[in-house]
Amino acid sequence: MKEIKIFSPATIANVSCGFDVLGLALESIGDEMIVRKTSEKGVKIVKISGQKLPLEVNRNVAGVAALALLKKANVTTGFEIEIVKKIKPGSGIGSSAASAAGAVWAINKLLGNPFSLIELVQFAMEGERLASGVAHADNVTPALFGGFTLVRSQEPLDIVAIHTPTDLYATVIHPQIEIKTADARKILKETVLLNDAVKQWGNVGGLISGLYTEDYDLIGRSLHDYIVEPVRAALIPSYAALKETAIKSGALGCGISGSGPSVFALSKGKETAQQVAKAMHNVYENTGIAFDIHVSKINPTGINILESN
């Protein structure tokens, strides 16, 4: 192949109790990217549509991630990247991760897959470092692996793919305000109470167990965040009302997607997820803040090819 067009999914990170370690890929929301081989070495970002983002390679997460890959690759060709940006930066559903992961996945595919998925995560994390100041992996990992993922360790990098129940759906509301990941990290506390930490890792274990056993009640009981959500909730208008309404409408649980402002709810079945979407709409329609709502299955495969030649 000389050129491919890919879909790179939006992602939900943290998933309530799993700050910086848990993530999931969405099926109905994502960016599209075209990557092609060129005779000139290096990386060029030739076009971005949908959002105003820099074309300069060193200032773009896709470019930085691609350069990290090429630094390790023994190649004589270069690459051009076009991005159709459908995930708004600062939305909390992995905008930078979609670009960074998509770039390295596509280049790796055009090179004949010399790098493993774990190596691609490491390259994509360099794009996240540019975006937020921290090379976190909880968004790029589900984008590359698909489904639910656990970053068991970052040093050394250890990724665990987690079973996803087939009837699990996500509802995501995106208020049209921007919360930068770097800013949302600055307000977090340096230390946490031992009692809160014990409850938190109990929920992480419960959530993973619930996913494997397809125990939806256990999944719901585990979707609680005692450490990060109490601090970040104040950044999102009407967050408490959104969460209360979603759960009353049948959601298993509700939380902040990444660093916000998007808020997610997980539900058993599409019908319930759509009911939750209507309830979230009713909460936000009188706030004066523009918003989008998406209902999506969990994406089992992550990035995929749309066209190739």
pLDDT digits (tens, 9 = 90+) for 219-236: 999 999 999 999 999 999
- We report the CATH number of the domain holding residue 192 as 3.30.70.890
Q: Are residues 98 and 226 in the same domain?
A: no
Q: Is the distance from CB of 6 to CB of 32 less than 8 angstroms? A: yes
Q: Are residues 87 and 209 in the same domain?
A: no
Separation between Cα atoms, residue 101 and residue 42, nearest integer Å: 18
Separation between Cα atoms, residue 217 and residue 237, nearest integer Å: 28
Set 181, 229, 245, 272: catalytic member: 181
Cβ burial 87-98 (10 Å sphere, 16+ → b, else e):
bbbbbbbbbbbb
Q: Are residues 253 and 270 in the same domain?
A: yes
Mean pLDDT of 189-217: 96
pLDDT the model gives residue 160: 97
Q: Strands 263-268 and 291-297: what pairing?
A: unpaired
State how many domains the chain has. 2
181 is catalytic: yes
Domain that holds residue 69: 3-162+299-308
Q: How confident is the model at residue 131 (pLDDT cuts 50, 70, 90)?
A: confident
Mean pLDDT of 44-70: 95
> Which tokens go with 1?
């192949």
**DSSP secondary-structure letter at 59?**
G
Separation between Cα atoms, residue 283 and residue 224, nearest integer Å: 21
**Helix, strand, coil distribution of the chain in percent, nearest 5:** 40, 30, 35
Q: Are residues 87 and 9 in the same domain?
A: yes
Q: What is the pLDDT of residues 273-295, one digit of tens each?
A: 999 999 999 999 989 999 999 99
Set 128, 141, 245, 272: catalytic member: 128
Q: Is the distance from CB of 239 to CB of 246 less than 8 angstroms? A: no
- We report the CATH number of the domain holding residue 96 as 3.30.230.10
Q: Is the distance from CB of 258 to CB of 12 less than 8 angstroms? A: yes
- Is pLDDT larger for residue 109 or for residue 183? 109
Weakest-pLDDT range from 134-138, 142-146, 287-291:
134-138
pLDDT the model gives residue 146: 98
Mean pLDDT of 11-27: 96
Strand residue runs (E) in the chain: 3-13, 22-38, 42-49, 78-84, 148-154, 157-162, 168-175, 253-256, 263-268, 291-297, 304-308
DSSP alpha helices (H): ranges in the chain?
Answer: 61-72, 95-110, 117-132, 140-145, 181-186, 194-213, 216-222, 229-232, 239-248, 270-284
Q: Are residues 86 and 203 in the same domain?
A: no
pLDDT the model gives residue 185: 82
* Residue keyed to tokens 């990217």: 33
76 is catalytic: no
Q: Are residues 261 and 304 in the same domain?
A: no
Percent of the chain residues topping a pLDDT of 70: 100
> Which tokens go with 124?
């994509």
Q: Are residues 148 and 174 in the same domain?
A: no
Q: Are residues 175 and 105 in the same domain?
A: no
> Which tokens go with 127?
């794009």
Q: How confident is the model at residue 4 (pLDDT cuts 50, 70, 90)?
A: very high
Mean pLDDT score of the chain, rounded to an integer? 95
**pTM, to two decimals:** 0.94
Sign, CA dihedral 292-173-91-65, equals: negative
Instruction: Compute the chain's Rg from CA coordinates.
Output: 19
Separation between Cα atoms, residue 287 and residue 157, nearest integer Å: 42
Q: Are residues 260 and 148 in the same domain?
A: no
